[in-house]
Amino acid sequence: MGDSTARDVRAWLRGLEVFAGPLAAFDPGAAPDDPVDLFLSWLTEAVDARLPDPHAMTVSTVDEHGAPWARVLILKNVDAAGRQFAAHADSPEGRQPAARPSPSTGRLSDARSECADP
């Protein structure tokens, strides 16, 4: 592990602050009925807060052996049919959803974890 063995990585990681600052409030009862509206309101908050690349999402897929893959892609559209990303049709992220059409997307922002599963 090279230089990382020179210090106690376990203690270092466990010493880092988690969820520093106030967490955003979330009342499920006040959430819009349509999850797309909720997703867009969270994305709007991230854009308004000027987070870097707020529309960059981790898109996870599963290959033909059941192994999970994940990569960062830029969100290009959201509508009732789902989310659209720009990727080569020949790439793993282009091919795998055709065989197993339930990709998962998520984004970890400064304020909270935002996840959207179809």
Contacting positions for ligand FMN (CB under 6 A): 53, 56, 69, 71-74, 85-87, 91-93
3-state percent helix, strand, coil for the chain, nearest multiple of 5: 30, 25, 40
Distance in Å, CB of 80 to ligand FMN, minimum: 22
Q: How far is the CB of 77 from ligand FMN (least distance, A)?
A: 12
Judged by beta carbon, residue 9 or residue 72, the one nearer ligand FMN is 72
Minimum CB separation from ligand FMN for residue 89, in Å? 11
| CB nearer ligand FMN, residue 31 or residue 72 | 72
Contact 24, 111 (CB under 8 A): yes
Q: Where are the beta strands (DSSP E) in the chain?
A: 56-62, 68-79, 82-85, 104-108, 113-116
Nearer to ligand FMN, 38 or 58 (CB): 58
Spatial distance between the Cα atoms of 19 and 21, rounded to a whole number of angstroms: 6
- Residue 113 pairs with which residues in a beta bridge? 108
Q: 38 vs 82, which CB is nearer to ligand FMN? A: 82
CB 71 → ligand FMN: shortest distance, Å? 4
Q: Is the dihedral of CA 79, 84, 89, 94 positive or negative?
A: negative
